Amino acid sequence: MEKIIVYGGKPLVGELESDGAKNSVLPIMAALILNDSGEDIVIENAPDIRDVRVMCKILMSLGVKVTDRGGGCLVFNTANITTSSIPHSLSREMRSSVFIMGPLLARLGRVQVCGPGGCAIGSRPIDLHLRGLKALGARIEEKGEYISAVSPLLRGAEIHLDLPSVGATENVMMAAVGARGETLIKNAAREPEIVDLQTFLNYLGADIRGAGTSTIRIKGPGLLRGGSYRVIPDRIVAGTLLMAAGITGGSILLRNVIPRHLEAVTAKLREAGMDIEEGESWLRARGRPLKGLQKVRTQAYPGFPTDLQAPMMALLTLARGRSSIYEEIFDGRLKHVEELRKMGARISVEGSRADITGVEGLLPGKVVKATDLRAGAALVLAALAVKGQTEVMNPEHIDRGYHHLEEKLASLGAEVMRVRAL
Ligand code: UD1
């Protein structure tokens, strides 16, 4: 057990490079399974985070050879995949294990995973993934915790998603690369990470068009080969760091970002009073006295991302006046409210809406608990604004998606360290 101790109250100042995107690299790593050419695939800019390490273990359990060359460069050889199921413990460790369904089904004609179940941010069904695979010809069976899909031959189909699920769009895209004929995914999610998956698969030899719009067309079957690919920067880590500048009244320059991917976020931060400049691949954020925001609504891309809802809430606890945040994507993603309240934040919740009344300062000396990845990041941000000490327990959640967050913050002048919790 570890904890992060923060002595806050200092403005963060300095420069940082953004890491590769977790939500790009995870589906891309699953998509590697489709390459049966025997050639290596090199992934560059992979973030060194826990979810990537778990995905490496999942791939290795299937027979993939993984070499870590360091510096975010991972090499995969997928020549010898013969196993169609992964150990129960690995399925359970990470929801993204469900991404292997589409590509394994396409490669081997069968797959078995353990249902990823609910998690700390609410119920997270995979019915849309399964319906999509079924439409491509898979026979799905659910027995207890296990879900298996079998199809000796996948065929292209027209699939209309009930809602634009990121994971379902990606899973169906990957399966459709191995299906005979054309697949159309309608009401597809439009996240930049889906565009990245399309670019990656096309680079390896697939024929996919339309990612980034709500209709994606896949012509299969694609014959994939090896190659080298660099994943896009992580817009959620970048957004978190911009908010760290805002909450501490600091000034930071972020390099290796795609400002376009953060438009919904920078618009709201400007509205809250922050000064944000942008170039082609950089963003500079300066904190100013913050003002409250009415109606921050989380939405599918290009709306405000649910993954930045908790960090945004931390920021607004210190903004002058009242704010309201509506969590429209996940039904249980307001667990950080209770922890922020322990720190002196004034927040009330009704259904999916949180109303925040800004306070002058948060209270020192509190011990709070990270309940999930982004909630944990939000608590660290709030702690950076506290004049005094805060302890954030369960930082392992934060490690799922942020590479040594405390080291990044320390490089900007924050007093923050990780210690063993007794
Ligand atoms: C992905 C991201 C996650 C982000 C989320 C929303 C990855 C690895 N994770 O998660 O960081 O918070 O998008 O931007 O990319 N749903 C169903 N049935 C399904 C699938 C989803 O009802 O089969 C619902 C979910 O419960 C949720 C909504 O659809 O309410 C959106 O979920 P989805 O876009 O699928 O999120 P993930 O792909 O799990």
pLDDT at residue 97, rounded to an integer: 85
Domains of the chain plus CATH, in order, are 2-19+233-420 (3.65.10.10), 22-230 (3.65.10.10)
Q: Residues 195, 197, 202, 206: what is their CA dihedral angle, to the nearest 10 degrees?
A: -120
Pocket of ligand 1 (CB under 6 A): 23, 26, 96, 124-129, 163, 165-168, 189, 193, 305-307, 329-330
Strand partners, 324: 355
Q: Specify the residue with its C-alpha closest to ligand 1, atom 22.
A: 125
119 included as an active-site residue: yes
Q: Which of 123, 206, 201, 194 is nearest to 161 (CA)?
A: 194
Distance 5 CA to ligand 1 centre (A): 31
> What are the helix and strand counts (H, E) for the chain?
14, 23
Going by C-alpha positions, the residue among 177, 166, 182, 175 that lies closest to residue 140 is 175
Tell me the two tokens of residue 232: 């896009």
Question: According to the model, what pLDDT value does residue 146 have?
Answer: 87
- From 329, 310, 321, 326, select the one nearest 397 (Cα to Cα): 310
Please provide residue 263's backbone torsions phi and psi, each rounded to the nearest 5 degrees.
Answer: -55, -45
Q: How many CB atoms lie within 10 A of CB 322?
A: 15
Q: How many residues does the chain have?
A: 422
Q: What is the pLDDT along the chain (422 residues), one digit of tens a residue?
A: 899 999 999 999 999 999 999 999 999 999 999 999 999 999 999 999 999 999 999 999 999 999 999 999 999 999 999 899 988 888 888 888 899 999 999 999 999 998 765 456 566 789 999 999 999 999 999 888 889 999 989 999 999 999 999 999 999 999 999 999 999 999 999 999 999 999 999 999 999 999 999 999 999 998 899 999 999 999 999 999 999 999 999 999 999 999 999 999 999 999 999 999 999 999 999 998 999 999 999 999 999 999 999 999 999 999 999 999 999 999 889 999 999 999 999 999 999 999 999 999 999 999 999 999 999 999 999 999 999 999 999 999 999 999 989 999 999 999 999 998 77
CA-atom Rg of the chain in angstroms: 21
- Looking at residue 365, what DSSP letter applies? S
Nearest CA to ligand 1 atom 33: 165
Indicate which residue's Cα is closest to atom 1 of ligand 1: 166
Omega before residue 221 within 30° of 0, cis:
yes
What pLDDT digit, counting tens, does each position of 304-315 carry? Answer: 999 999 999 999
Sheet holding 275-278, edge to edge: 13-17, 251-255, 282-286, 275-278
Give the Cβ contact number of residue 95 at 10 Å. 18
Would you state the structure tokens that stand for residue 65, as one six-digit string? 């050879």
A 10 A CB-CB count for 414 gives 27
Write the pLDDT tens digit of every residue in 71-116: 999 999 999 998 999 888 888 888 888 999 999 999 999 999 987 6
Of 326, 324, 336, 314, nearest to 243 (Cα)?
Answer: 314
Give me the residues paired with residue 5 across strands.
391, 417
Select from 29, 172, 329, 331 the residue to mutate for testing ligand 1; criterion: most ligand atoms less than 8 Å from CB: 329
Q: How far apart are CA 405 and CA 98, in angstroms?
A: 26
Q: Which atom of ligand 1 is nearest to the CA of 301?
A: 14
pLDDT mean across residues, the chain = 95
Of 79, 63, 71, nearest to 43 (Cα)? 71
Closest CA to 30 of 216, 193, 217, 257: 193
3-state DSSP assignment of residue 241: helix
pTM of the model: 0.96
311 upstream amide cis, omega within 30 of 0: no
Exposed e or buried b per residue across 12-27, where buried means at least 16 C-beta atoms within 10 angstroms of its C-beta: bbeebebbbbbbbbbb
Report the pLDDT value the prediction gives residue 332, as an integer from 0 to 100.
Answer: 86
Reduce the secondary structure of 17-85 to three states and give it as a string.
ECCECHHHHHHHHHHHHHCCCCCCEEEECCCCCHHHHHHHHHHHHCCCEEEEEECCEEEEECCCCCCCE
Which amino acid residue places its CA nearest to atom 9 of ligand 1? 23
Q: Ligand 1 centroid to 223 CA: how many Å?
A: 29
The span from the first CA to the last CA of the chain, in angstroms, equals 7
